[in-house]
DNA sequence: ATAGTATGAATGTATAGACAACTTTATAAG
DNA sequence: CTTATAAAGTTGTCTATACATTCATACTAT
């Protein structure tokens, strides 16, 4: 296969550092520089293309960010070996998958009320006070009139921030928390497990009991690391999967 | 709470850009600059600390990478709102969890042989040739004499690259592929699903049939995007979980 | 021979300045 | 008042230079 000659066009509106980044990336991909080998020195590249060394460094730093090369002070810059045992499952929203497929999805609010915390809930929110009240939501997500997931959510509650009608449409946990917390919610922890669903969940989702499901618990914390929101969601195992891509070739 | 006064020490061995990065990060964390608000301009910061604008830009670019701020040309640099519905499950190795807990884990090779591809396998490797041969491995991972996962792996095979004794100890798919492929393996796709285990898997893992399990399929591709390795692993659902942290506060 | 020292080469940090690209605001023209 | 133009402000790119830091090598003294 013949590769078209790529080079640097200093008069282009595309930044030089970006052109060089793409050029080096392509050369690495097609094996001009192999894993473990070193790239030409920054000064070599700079004089080769008659550009500044700082511009070369900008290009190389992009390669470093992409994980394709690594630099060692005093030695040089070397091509990395693609790491293939790294697994990164990234989901902006566990439901995004469904939405992307263009299906008609909708969230149904089963219940919304103010509750007093029982012992279990107090543990989740790391409080001892017995009379503290929380907002409680139960929702079901469905697509094409098929129920896909069931979620219960709790957030802190204060009288000064009542429930708004608009929240009830599609109450996401981060959204609810932001609306009912004094402090800024800044961090979140999620735990994914597999389980077989309970009879109640099976009934709600319209699947047979003991079916395998994804179970995701999420806790949201404020600036002082106090829990201000907690949710537990059950996703049908036969309708969800997570995909991870790795290595040099990534989805653009 | 009183915060110690942080500032820039130009004589420190810690780079100025890094000091400034940490300084700005801390100011954002404690709310001096709130989400949506703008940071001081680069020139302001530069003259405020009597450093170069390029050094300021280096610091801010770190903040951008961390997702705490975003820059808009011509307008300014603004504090981002923590995104809490992003889920990133990252596992260097699905077994790392086990290893970190300091348990005695070991990989047991159940079987290793050369096989001819059946129709199913040919589909996985996107080939039609019927007589092509592949390497086949079956392994079990156990910790504290408890079996945790069961994995079957296939890689391309050529006579010129025979199986080495050393491979049989702990044959990871990327390792096997690298040892038996002509071209460089550069990318990988993994799909995680939930399932209930088969009777065979239940027997091997010593759990009851129909137990919930994680199921991870991995395909490794070479530079020409040809599949050169495929594996399917079953992990005990009661022994594995995935955790994701999100937002501004991340684990250090 | 060994250890210490000097030298060169490579990446890392920092600066000052120039201009480009984009946005907002102020100004002028109709 | 509206619209077009100019100006100012802000981030983005690029350059040339200087020095620091780290590493490998060659050299020197013992």
Rounded to an integer, what distance in angstroms lies between the CA atom of residue A213 and that of residue B125?
Answer: 29
Distance from CA of A123 to the nearest CA of B (A): 19
Q: How high is the pLDDT of residue A2?
A: 56
Residues B110, B71 share a domain: no
Higher model confidence: residue B21 or residue A238?
A: B21
| pLDDT tens digits for range B140-152 | 988 877 898 999 9
- As a rounded value in angstroms, the CA-to-C1' distance for B115 and D23 is 49
Specify the CATH number for the domain of residue A190. Answer: 3.40.1410.10
The mean pLDDT of A169-186, rounded to a whole number, is: 83
- In angstroms, what separates the C-alpha of B250 from chain A's closest C-alpha? 8
| pLDDT score at A143 | 82
Domain assignment of residue A3, yes or no: no
Confirm whether any atom of chain C, the nucleic acid strand, is less than 7 Å from CB of A41.
yes
Kindly state whether residues A130 and A55 are assigned to the same domain.
no
* pLDDT band, very low/low/confident/very high, at A252 (cuts 50, 70, 90): very low
pLDDT given at position B252 = 37
Look at A187 and B35 and tell me if their CB atoms are within 8 Å.
no
Secondary structure (H, E, C), chain A: CCCCCCCCCCCCCCCHHHHHHHHHHHHHHCCCCCCCCECCCHHHHHHHHCCCHHHHHHHHHHHHHCCCEEEECCCEEEECCCCCCCEEEEECCCCHHHHHCCCCEEEEEEEEEEEECCHHHHHHCCCCCCCCEEEEEEEEEEECCEEEEEEEEEEECCCCCCCCHHHHCCCCHHHHHHHHCCCCEEEEEEEEEEEECCHHHHHHHCCCCCCEEEEEEEEEEECCCCEEEEEEEEEECCCCCEEEEEECCCCC
Question: At B47, is the pLDDT very low, low, confident or very high (cuts 50, 70, 90)?
Answer: very high
Asked if residue A224 and residue A102 are part of one domain, the reply reads: yes
List the A75 CA – D24 C1' distance (angstroms): 8
Structure tokens at A145: 């009139």
At B37, the pLDDT band (50, 70, 90 cuts) reads very high
Residues B59 and B129 in one domain: no
User: Shortest CA–C1' contact from A19: which nucleotide?
Assistant: D13
- pLDDT at position A122: 94
Please report the pLDDT score of residue A83 as a whole number. 75
Q: What's CA B125's distance to the chain center, in Å?
A: 24
β-strand B69-72 against A185-196: which pairing, if any? unpaired
Residue A61 and residue A183 in one domain:
no
Could you tell me if residue B168 is inside a domain?
yes
Residue with tokens 């511009």: A55
For residue B124, is pLDDT > 60? Answer: yes
- Asked if residue A85 belongs to a domain, the reply is no
Q: Please tell me whether residues B61 and B135 are part of one structural domain.
A: no
Q: Which of A66-80, B4-18, B30-44, B225-239 has the lowest mean pLDDT?
A: B4-18
Q: What is the pLDDT of residues B175-234, one digit of tens each?
A: 888 888 888 888 899 888 999 999 999 999 999 999 999 999 999 998 888 999 999 999
Q: Which region holds residue A8: left if phi is over 0, alpha if psi is between -120 and 50, else beta? A: beta
Instruction: Give pLDDT, residue A87.
Output: 66
Q: Mean pLDDT, to the nearest integer, of B123-141?
A: 92
User: What residues make up the domain containing B107?
Assistant: 96-236
Q: Considering only CB atoms, which chain B residues are within 8 Å of A220?
A: 84
Task: Quote the number of domains for chain B.
Answer: 2
For residue A60, the model assigns a pLDDT of 98
User: In this predicted structure, what is the pLDDT of residue B159?
Assistant: 79
Q: Note whether B31 and B114 are same-domain residues.
A: no
Answer yes or no: is A172 within a domain: yes
The answer to which of A174-188, A229-243, B39-53 has the lowest mean pLDDT is A174-188
> Which of A136-150, B22-36, B139-153, B159-173 is predicted least confidently?
B159-173
How many angstroms separate the Cα of A153 from the Cα of each of A172, B82, B106?
9, 20, 40
Mean pLDDT within A191-197: 92
- Whether the CB-CB separation of A33 and A74 falls below 8 Å is answered with no
Residues B142 and B41 in one domain: no
Average pLDDT over residues A201-225: 92
Give the per-residue pLDDT at A48. 96
Provide the pLDDT for residue A251. 35
pLDDT tens track for A61-118: 999 999 999 999 999 999 998 877 666 666 555 556 666 665 677 889 999 999 998 9
Q: Which of residues 49-108 of A touch B (CB under 8 A)?
A: 65, 82, 84-94
Same domain, A21 and A107: no
B176-CA/C24-C1' distance, Å: 59
Whether A155 is in a domain gets the answer yes
* Residue A181 predicted with pLDDT over 90: no
Mean pLDDT for A229-250 is 84
* B58 and B116 housed in the same domain: no
Residue B249, in any domain of the structure: no
The token pair that represents B248 in the structure block: 């501004």
pLDDT reported for residue B184: 83
Tens of pLDDT, residues A12-52: 999 999 999 999 999 998 889 999 999 999 999 999 999 99
Chain C bases closer than 7 angstroms to a protein Cβ: 8-17, 21-24
The CATH number of whichever domain residue A31 belongs to comes to 1.10.10.10
* Least confident piece of the model among A34-43, A53-62, A185-194: A185-194
**How many of the other CB atoms lie within 10 Å of CB of A211?**
18
Measured CA A36 to C1' D25 distance, in angstroms: 22
- What pTM, to 2 d.p., does this model score? 0.80
| Chain B residues within 8 A of A192 when measuring between CB atoms | 87, 89, 241-244
Predicted pLDDT of residue A142: 86
User: What percent of chain B stands above pLDDT 70?
Assistant: 88
In a domain, A70, yes or no: yes
Mean pLDDT of the residues in chain B: 87
* Nearest protein residue to nucleotide D20, judged by CA and C1' positions: B13
Q: How far is A59 from chain B (nearest CA, A)?
A: 14
Contact A91 B92 (CB under 8 A): no
Residues contacting residue A124 through CB under 8 Å, at least 6 positions apart: A154, A219, A227, A230
Q: Check whether residue B165 and residue B231 sit in a common domain.
A: yes
Q: Is residue B60 located within the same domain as residue B170?
A: no
Over residues B62-87, the pLDDT tens digits come to 999 999 999 999 999 999 988 776 66
Beta-bridged to residue B153, according to DSSP, are: B137, B231
Tell me whether residues A82 and B245 touch, CB distance under 8 A. no
- Lookup: nucleotide whose C1' is closest to A72 CA: C11
Give the separation between CA A151 and CA A107, rounded to whole angstroms. 10
Q: What is the mean pLDDT of residues A231-242?
A: 90
> With a CB-CB cutoff of 8 Å, which residues 21-40 of chain A face chain B?
29-31, 34-35
In percent, how much of chain B has pLDDT > 90? 58
**A38 in a structural domain:** yes
**CA dist., res. B136 & res. B121, Å (int):** 11
CA of A87 to C1' of D14 (A): 38
């Amino acid at each position: 296969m013949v590769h078209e000659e790529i080079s640097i066009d200093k008069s282009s509106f595309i930044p030089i550092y970006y052109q060089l980044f793409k050029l080096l990336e392509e050369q690495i991909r097609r094996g001009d520089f192999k894993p473990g080998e070193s790239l030409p020195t920054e000064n070599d590249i700079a004089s080769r293309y008659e550009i500044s060394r700082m511009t070369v460094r900008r290009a190389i730093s992009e390669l470093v960010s992409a994980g394709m090369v690594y630099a060692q002070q005093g030695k040089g810059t070397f091509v990395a070996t693609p790491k293939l045992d790294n697994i990164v499952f990234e989901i902006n929203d566990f439901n995004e998958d469904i939405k992307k497929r263009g299906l008609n999805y909708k969230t149904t609010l089963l219940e919304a009320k103010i509750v007093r915390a029982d012992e279990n809930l107090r543990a989740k929110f790391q409080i001892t006070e017995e009379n503290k009240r929380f907002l409680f939501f139960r929702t079901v997500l469905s697509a094409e009139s098929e129920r896909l997931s069931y979620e219960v959510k709790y957030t802190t509650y204060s009288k000064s921030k009542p429930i708004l009608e608009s929240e009830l449409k599609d109450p996401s946990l981060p959204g609810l928390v932001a609306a009912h917390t004094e402090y800024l919610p800044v961090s979140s922890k999620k735990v994914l497990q597999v389980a077989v669903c309970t009879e109640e969940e099976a009934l709600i989702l319209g699947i047979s009991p003991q079916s395998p499901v994804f179970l995701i618990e999420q806790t949201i914390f404020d600036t002082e690391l106090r829990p201000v929101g907690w949710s537990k969601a059950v996703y049908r195992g036969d309708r969800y999967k997570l995909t991870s891509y790795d290595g040099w070739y990534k989805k653009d």
